[in-house]
Chain A
């Protein structure tokens, strides 16, 4: 097989592997949600499958006569993926949580998601993963395993780089999940055809035919080599995942930011692989590895010290939320290039050097160990290390681990200069971080910053305009009060917020006319419940402001009871400390954290009913999570609504002109018959969409009792500003398969 064909084979394969990972996550989200434990389980299973595939591929490649043998593996993967595309949703649904909200079973679907991933996606991942070590083993027959590993790993990484941009940002929003499967299947089929076209060579390569020619010096025993591969794999993933978190207070975690950071990281890794392959033929691999690990120490530690000044420079304070995302996108690339890329170049070079030190017969094992390290990095970084230690301290920990690996790998004569560089490179940034302390990003009036498994959460206190709806004057909305207010903000939030607490609270000025009141007014739409209690399902509890407003403004004499879902337990903890959340926690509130709202709705007992369902869910600051905006989701919600019950969805965007709001309104209308859009004239961008089964005349307040004065402005908006939504042909009905809410939001925010 020619080098060009091999290169194409590995490049397409790298693309396909990452494509499978992205589409698999998307396929499982409507059943299991997108909580961090689900994400970790999916990535964990897929990386484990990749590790197995790498190990088998290396072994197989050194014995096979040509790459033609790979054609069968790719064909089998393609056939399996056809089954996944056709039957995957049903199989996942069969394994999904259902039938109750038993707290002892939380997190819901913890076994089901592992089972679904094993059944559906593990096998094709393992089959595809065989390619790179197989090709390296074939191509490195001359014994230059390091160079071949460097070249082909770099090519595979470049394929993955392209995939991380194309698949989530273009294919999934355009073709949907199933359509994306077909494209991935086509690529895998193309790979199979490429492999099938290879001509068989006379003799097998590898250790059976020709013993691997390891360099005379720098030989490494298998254990330390695999250990080093694992540590570098761990460090690479910590830099990637932790890097996104380190920069998120300025750039957020939008799809474009994730894609930009990961693509930059993969570019650096590809460069590192190519360089490592080049060095492997020139230098003593063991010595070069010690050098790389020693250089990796300051490269991993310095971002901890540099993140705040560099990111503050790239994304300055004071930008409006509606214009900040393009700046954040550019800033994320600039941040990743300076903070992450140098370390990743160094760490990416390790694998070819290890291959050079061990010979091509161990390339598969080394790739597998590297991937297991990556698995550990995925499972540990966001769920454990960042919330426990903080992202800066996580980087310092990795730097310490690399220093330890360098020391263990070093041989006499001791490379003192390199080790001194590593020690100084750890101690100086570490001391700076310890001495400086404080939050990653400090905003005026900031009270606290907490890094949770999902995001960075801040509470900021500021005097803000508020409307006094009980002033009795129609001009009240222009003569605003200035009230000290605490805002709960996520990641790059500068002026936007997820929860609010007015410190000078009264019976009338609850949230000062903000959207929370526009949602709470829904309790006045529903007919008097048979059991005398209005049951509410609230998806997206955050700091509890909607629930606080609901409690305070419920129809007189009709108590409310709430099942509230908040995916991020860290947000609730912060609210307990700074937003008086404790006073909201009584027998009327059933609060579920660390669960996706979709999973909770999927698992509701069939007999559970609600009078009012409020969807106020946001992921990564600006996105309505796609799985709580689809036709299938609203159909499930409808099944749990009492007769006359209402559903309200809060959408932040370009107000009544928002395409995200239009798509969700169209979807609601397809399930409930009609949708009404209620804008908020006081706080630009927010609209609430309302639907009810069979309703024809729009939402009307006052079924039980006159609404309280505190809801005066919200009631005025319902009665005087609400319009029936009329879908246009450009507004799609969102489905679990095709729900481009993220893409529409990105377009709305200028990305």
Chain B
């Protein structure tokens, strides 16, 4: 089902792209808004980790740009073992950011995820931040605590893209909070109050043990004195 939806999405995106190329400036304004809304919805789902629901967001934009999220999901973020995938748009390692990303995806997505050049717009800034963050966690041979930092996501939060709404940013913040929570050794350790209670209980138990040891010692000392009668 997801593969069919993905194929339809890609076909629609390509068709709309062709139509979009013929549209005049008046039509573009509405289309641009629709595209931005669609990308915002998709990036919100990605931020919340609900990638499986992206199929429900119909593509509206021109070209292959709008198909990117589904292809990224099915080939990299949650790669399926499908054999009947649609052909990817042609990438170009020297082209614009999306051309480079298609080339990156076609190559298996093991190199660093392409970012826009200076002055170039990024149609998927939040997806890019999520991919870069995950790439760094899964592949980078760097030790704690560097691996736990999330510079890409924090950059998005500091300078949010125009189409990102509050829900998306809240989801990103929540994700970072989960990272902090999961890797915070202090939270995994016992609280100060619990440590104090344990320390007191431990001291009490040791005191009781020492009393019991002393009692055993006294008992043995007494027993060394009895019986007094010697066997002849």
Residues of A within 8 A of B (CB): 215-218, 268, 271, 275, 278-279, 281-284, 288, 313-316, 318-320, 322-324, 326-327, 330-331, 333-334, 337-338, 341-342, 345, 472, 474-475, 477, 527-528, 654-657, 676, 679-681, 684-685, 696-698, 700-707, 712, 715-717, 719-724, 726, 728, 750
Q: Which of B52, B79, B231 has the most CB of A within 10 A?
A: B231
A297 to B105, CA, bound (A): 79
Looking at the assembled complex, report how far the CB atom of B129 sits from the nearest CB atom of chain A, in whole angstroms: 12
Do residues A719 and B171 form an inter-chain contact, with CB atoms below 8 A? no
Given contacts A330-B206, A654-B188, contact A282 B228 (CB under 8 A): yes
User: Of the candidates B2, B50, B187, B208, which one forms a contact with A313 in the assembled complex, judged by CB atoms under 8 Å apart?
Assistant: B208
User: Of the candidates A323, A337, A705, which one forms a contact with B194 in the assembled complex, judged by CB atoms under 8 Å apart?
Assistant: A323
Do residues B52 and A324 form an inter-chain contact, with CB atoms below 8 A? no
What are 13 sample pairs from A and B whose C-beta atoms fall under 8 A apart? Answer: A216-B232, A326-B198, A334-B208, A334-B209, A474-B171, A475-B170, A656-B182, A698-B138, A703-B79, A712-B50, A715-B49, A719-B77, A722-B137
Do residues A319 and B227 form an inter-chain contact, with CB atoms below 8 A? no
A722 to B179, CA, bound (A): 9
User: Of the candidates B139, B190, B219, B227, which one forms a contact with A724 in the assembled complex, judged by CB atoms under 8 Å apart?
Assistant: B139
1/0 contact string of B206-225 vs chain A (CB within 8 Å) = 10110011011001100110
B110 close to chain A: CB less than 8 A: yes
Across the interface, name the chain A residue whose C-beta is closest to B170.
A474
A365 to B231, CA, bound (A): 25
B80 close to chain A: CB less than 8 A: yes
Do residues B198 and A327 form an inter-chain contact, with CB atoms below 8 A? yes
How many residue pairs link A and B with beta carbons under 8 A? The number is 199
B141 close to chain A: CB less than 8 A: yes
Do residues B134 and A719 form an inter-chain contact, with CB atoms below 8 A? yes
1/0 contact string of B105-148 vs chain A (CB within 8 Å) = 00001100000000000000000001001100111111110011
Do residues A721 and B230 form an inter-chain contact, with CB atoms below 8 A? no
B30 close to chain A: CB less than 8 A: no
A282 to B191, CA, bound (A): 58
Looking at the assembled complex, report how far the CB atom of B200 sits from the nearest CB atom of chain A, in whole angstroms: 9
Do residues A278 and B182 form an inter-chain contact, with CB atoms below 8 A? no
Given contacts A283-B229, A330-B206, contact A702 B189 (CB under 8 A): no
| Interface set, chain B 51-81, CB cutoff 8 A to A | 51-52, 77-81
A703 to B195, CA, bound (A): 45
Interchain residue pairs A-B with the least CB separation, the first 4: A323-B198, A702-B78, A706-B52, A334-B209
A217 to B230, CA, bound (A): 12
A654 to B185, CA, bound (A): 7
User: Of the candidates B147, B198, B212, B220, which one forms a contact with A726 in the assembled complex, judged by CB atoms under 8 Å apart?
Assistant: B147
Starting from the known contacts A716-B49, A726-B142, 18 additional A-B residue pairs (CB-CB under 8 Å) come to A218-B231, A275-B220, A282-B230, A283-B229, A313-B208, A320-B190, A322-B190, A331-B209, A337-B215, A341-B212, A474-B170, A475-B174, A656-B182, A656-B185, A685-B188, A704-B80, A717-B182, A723-B148
Given contacts A275-B223, A702-B78, contact A726 B205 (CB under 8 A): no
Across the interface, name the chain A residue whose C-beta is closest to B214.
A337
Do residues B174 and A474 form an inter-chain contact, with CB atoms below 8 A? yes
Do residues A720 and B178 form an inter-chain contact, with CB atoms below 8 A? yes
1/0 contact string of B147-181 vs chain A (CB within 8 Å) = 11000000000000000000000110011001101
